[in-house]
Each structure stands twice: as structure tokens, then as C-alpha cells.
């Protein structure tokens, strides 16, 4: 779907004039955003599904370019890299105003909320100036190459290797569960570069082109029919020295920061996410509509489900605000983002379960005239466990909270401080 603009998209000023908005009051910014959105973006598609199809990617890039040209891209990104340098309150205002419009939501995770902030935190000046403006203009999509086929939740036990050969690195191995890798331009790829160091101290992060010689990408079909996850195979992939993000053999520090941004994003606390999906997937208003259509709104059990769902949502919103502010103020460690990640999973589970209880059999097959809409309730239920895995499993989140936030003793690890080549691994 193309966008026909009735007037130039630069109501907010072109990128070079963004400094004028640096201290703009939130309500003034909201008013400009409301006017600009109405005049430049089409309404959000009906029954929007965030994973969509392959056609979403060129469209997302197009929409992002429109946002950039209109002066509404990268609201919380630094001005020197093409952003607006404004606050999370400005971003929240824009997200609220954009709810009814088509937005490049597929770029939020992991491009905007995980990979780009990691580059901002630990990349070289050259890497920042090359990639951040390209992301904000819709020219680049970024992904993560972290998990491995036999790695489970122990990311530091990875066996993808990068060997130094003169001025380049040679990458071999495989990654899996890489969201949207097929549509990406660059990836943050963690590889082992020192096999004589303990597992956390022999890793290096690379900022690598996805579609380059030696990289094979295979898509994974899931129970809901989507294919956003991929597996990658690396066969003597050549990476230049300036592909290293952070320090050689210092990749765990980069990965830790990256995982902080991931947990923050999954938990709903990232200031870099722009826009949110329209209603769907267990929102309270959808559950009310579902109860009304099925004639169950007066049922006390159903009303309890609706009340609990609303309460969970309110608690989640307050928890995000409190933990985010505490991390920013330094009164809580970044590890506290795992609290957001864990509670978000439990909130989603409660909502999806409530939706299926209300829908009953029609949640699987749908009802006449509502087959697709109500059938999605069953689809969401089948897919519910994904909420407990994305951004690290809930079990790992509980470990981090107990050990890193509450200060409880760390659990025993037989491979701690052991050179990785001596660690026994499964075959």
C-alpha cells in the first residue's frame, strides 16, 4: 500500500533542523505528531499480525524513511547520529498518537530496541556513524546471531568460532532462532576467539553483513505458520578487523549489554521502540468484545478474568515505569530488567489463557462471521510459550533476579574458570 502525502512530510522539520525540537515540551510535540500522522500515514491494517509476511519488510523500510523525512524517527536516539535526542516521555507520546496508523513495527525488535542501542553503547565512532543513521532512515535492518543448535540457555558455551588470519577473521559454525535474519542487512554475531580461556572470557562480538559469501540462511516454520525464525550456517566467512564490536575476547561484556537491551525490550521498558501494534492478542478491550459477542459478559467467572487481566496490565505498566527509572537513576542494577522480562511473560500467559477460557471451542475453529478473528485466540494459545523464551527463558530470568538483584548465592557451575577446550560438551 502506497502513501499519498497531501503536503510535505517535513512538518517537524528536516533532520538538519531537529535541534530546534531538543527541549520542546511533550504536549507540544504530541500535538505536532498528531497532526503529522494524520496527514502522512495511512490507517493501521485490520487484523494486524506483527510477523506478517515477507512483503512487510520493504514496506517497513518505506514507512521508516517517511518517519525520518518527517522528523519523527529515532526520538530517543542521539542527535549526532540522526535522532532527535528527546526523552522517553516524548517517545511514549508519539507511540500513543500513532496507535491507529500503519507503522514499521517489525523494525522495533531487534533493530531499534536491541542491536542499535548496543552499537550506541559499545561501538566505535565509525560504527555508530555508519549504522545508526542508516537504521533510522530505513536503509538497514539489524538482527542477532546468538543462540546455537546445541547451546540451550548457556549462551557462553557457544562453539561458533572466529579464527584470526592476518588482517581478517574466518568465521565457521551455526546460529539458530535468529529472528528476521532473512530480511536483515547486518547481525551482531558472538563467536569464540580463544579456546584456552574460560568460556566467558574467550568470546568476541562481530558486526557482520548477513548476506555475504559463506552464509547460508534457512527459515524455520512454527506452529502458527510464521517463518520469522532462521538458522544460519557459516562456512569460512571472511570478516575484516573492523567488524569487531567492542574488544577482542571481550565479547561477553557486549553480549551482556545486548541482553540487557533485549530483556528491556521484551519487558516493555525500551525507550527506543516506536509505535505499538493495534489491539489484538489478549488486550483487555478485545477480551471484553469477545465476552460480549459470546454472551458471557454477565458471567461472574468471565468478569473475574477480565478484572485480573486489567489488573495485570496496570501492574505491568507501573512496574515498567518504576524499574526503568530506578535503573536510570542507578538505584537498581541493569540486571533488574529481568524483572520486566519475567512479569511480561506471566502477563501474556494470563491474558492468552483468559482469552481461550472465554472463547471456548470457537477459539479453535471460530464462529460464523468471526472465523479468523476468534480462530486467532487458539493460535495465540499454541504460541503462548514463546513469551517465556524470547529475551531469555523465564527460568534464566529467575536465576538472574535471585543472584544478581537479590544477592543470593550463585548456583554451582562445573565449568567455571576452566579453559573452554577442556570443557566436556555433548556430541
Q: What is the model's pTM?
A: 0.83
The confidence score (pLDDT) of residue 3 equals 41
DSSP state of 217: E
Judge contact between 150 and 174, C-beta under 8 A: no
Instruction: Report the alpha-carbon distance of residue 191 to residue 269 in Å, rounded.
Output: 28
The confidence score (pLDDT) of residue 143 equals 97
Judge contact between 209 and 186, C-beta under 8 A: yes
Judge contact between 97 and 36, C-beta under 8 A: no
The contacts of residue 182 (CB under 8 Å, 6+ apart) are 54, 217, 219, 230
Q: Where are the domains of the chain?
A: 20-141, 144-250, 279-405
The confidence score (pLDDT) of residue 74 equals 97
What is the CATH topology of the domain spanning 144-250? Butyryl-CoA Dehydrogenase, subunit A; domain 2 (2.40.110)
Instruction: Report the alpha-carbon distance of residue 33 to residue 387 in Å, rounded.
Output: 32
Question: Which letter, b or e, does each residue of 42-78 get, where b requires 16 or more Cβ atoms within 10 Å of its Cβ?
Answer: eebeeeebbbbeeebbebbbebbbbbbbbbbbbbbbe
Residue 80 burial (CB count, 10 A): 12
Instruction: Report the alpha-carbon distance of residue 51 to residue 370 in Å, rounded.
Output: 21
The confidence score (pLDDT) of residue 295 equals 85
What is the CATH topology of the domain spanning 20-141? Butyryl-Coa Dehydrogenase, subunit A; domain 1 (1.10.540)
Judge contact between 267 and 337, C-beta under 8 A: yes
pLDDT digits (tens, 9 = 90+) for 249-282: 999 999 999 999 998 888 888 999 999 875 444 4
The confidence score (pLDDT) of residue 11 equals 34
What are the strands, taking DSSP E only, across 212-360?
A: 215-220, 229-240, 244-245
The confidence score (pLDDT) of residue 372 equals 52
The confidence score (pLDDT) of residue 280 equals 43
Helix runs in 173-216, H state only: none
pLDDT digits (tens, 9 = 90+) for 15-73: 334 444 457 999 999 999 999 999 999 998 876 665 557 888 999 999 999 999 999 99
Residue 357 burial (CB count, 10 A): 16
Whether domain 279-405 has CATH 1.20.140.10:
yes
Instruction: Report the alpha-carbon distance of residue 202 to residue 222 in Å, rounded.
Output: 33
Residues of the chain with pLDDT under 50: 1-21, 279-282, 371
Instruction: Report the alpha-carbon distance of residue 101 to residue 157 in Å, rounded.
Output: 43
Closest CA to 118 of 145, 98, 148: 145
Amino acid at each position: 500500500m502506497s502513501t499519498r502525502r497531501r503536503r510535505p512530510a517535513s512538518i517537524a522539520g528536516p533532520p538538519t533542523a531537529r535541534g530546534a525540537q531538543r527541549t520542546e515540551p511533550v504536549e507540544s510535540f504530541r500535538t505536532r505528531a498528531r497532526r503529522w500522522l494524520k496527514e502522512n500515514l495511512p490507517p493501521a491494517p485490520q487484523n494486524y499480525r506483527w510477523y506478517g509476511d515477507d512483503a512487510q519488510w520493504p514496506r517497513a523500510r518505506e514507512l521508516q524513511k517517511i518517519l525520518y523525512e518527517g522528523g519523527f524517527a529515532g526520538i530517543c536516539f542521539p542527535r549526532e547520529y540522526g535522532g532527535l535526542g528527546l526523552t522517553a516521555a516524548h517517545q511514549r507520546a508519539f507511540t500513543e498518537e500513532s496507535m491507529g496508523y500503519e507503522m514499521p513495527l517489525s523494525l522495533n525488535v531487534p533493530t531499534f530496541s536491541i542491536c542499535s542501542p548496543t552499537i550506541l553503547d559499545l561501538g566505535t565512532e565509525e560504527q555508530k556513524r555508519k549504522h545508526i543513521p542508516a537504521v533510522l532512515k530505513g536503509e538497514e535492518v539489524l538482527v542477532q546471531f546468538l543462540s546455537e543448535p546445541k547451546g540451550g540457555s548457556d549462551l557462553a558455551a557457544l562453539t561458533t568460532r572466529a579464527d584470526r588470519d592476518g588482517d581478517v577473521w574466518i568465521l565457521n559454525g551455526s546460529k539458530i532462532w535468529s529472528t528476521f535474519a532473512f530480511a536483515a542487512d547486518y547481525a551482531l554475531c558472538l563467536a569464540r576467539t580463544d579456546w584456552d580461556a574460560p568460556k566467558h572470557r574467550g568470546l568476541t562480538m562481530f558486526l557482520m553483513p548477513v548476506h555475504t559469501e559463506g552464509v547460508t540462511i534457512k527459515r524455520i516454520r512454527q506452529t502458527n505458520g510464521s517463518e520469522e525464525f532462521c538458522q544460519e550456517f557459516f562456512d569460512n566467512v571472511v570478516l575484516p578487523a573492523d567488524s569487531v564490536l567492542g574488544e577482542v575476547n571481550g565479547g561477553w561484556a557486549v553480549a551482556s549489554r545486548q541482553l540487557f537491551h533485549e530483556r528491556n525490550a521484551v519487558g516493555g521498558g525500551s525507550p527506543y521502540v516506536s509505535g505499538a501494534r493495534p489491539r489484538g492478542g489478549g488486550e483487555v478491550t478485545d477480551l471484553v468484545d469477545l465476552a460480549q459477542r459470546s454472551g458471557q459478559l454477565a458471567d461472574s467467572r468471565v468478569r473475574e478474568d477480565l478484572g485480573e487481566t486489567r489488573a495485570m496490565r496496570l501492574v505491568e505498566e507501573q512496574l515498567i515505569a518504576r524499574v526503568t527509572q530506578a535503573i536510570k537513576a542507578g538505584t537498581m542494577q541493569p540486571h533488574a530488567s529481568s524483572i520486566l522480562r519475567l512479569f511480561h511473560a506471566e502477563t501474556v500467559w494470563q491474558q492468552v489463557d483468559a482469552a481461550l477460557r472465554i472463547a471456548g471451542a470457537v477459539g479453535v475453529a471460530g464462529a460464523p462471521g468471526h472465523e479468523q478473528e476468534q480462530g486467532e485466540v487458539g493460535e495465540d494459545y499454541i504460541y503462548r510459550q514463546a513469551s517465556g523464551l524470547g529475551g531469555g527463558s523465564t527460568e534464566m530470568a529467575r536465576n538472574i533476579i535471585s543472584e544478581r538483584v537479590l544477592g543470593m548465592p550463585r548456583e554451582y557451575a562445573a565449568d567455571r574458570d576452566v579453559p573452554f577446550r577442556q570443557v566436556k560438551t555433548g556430541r
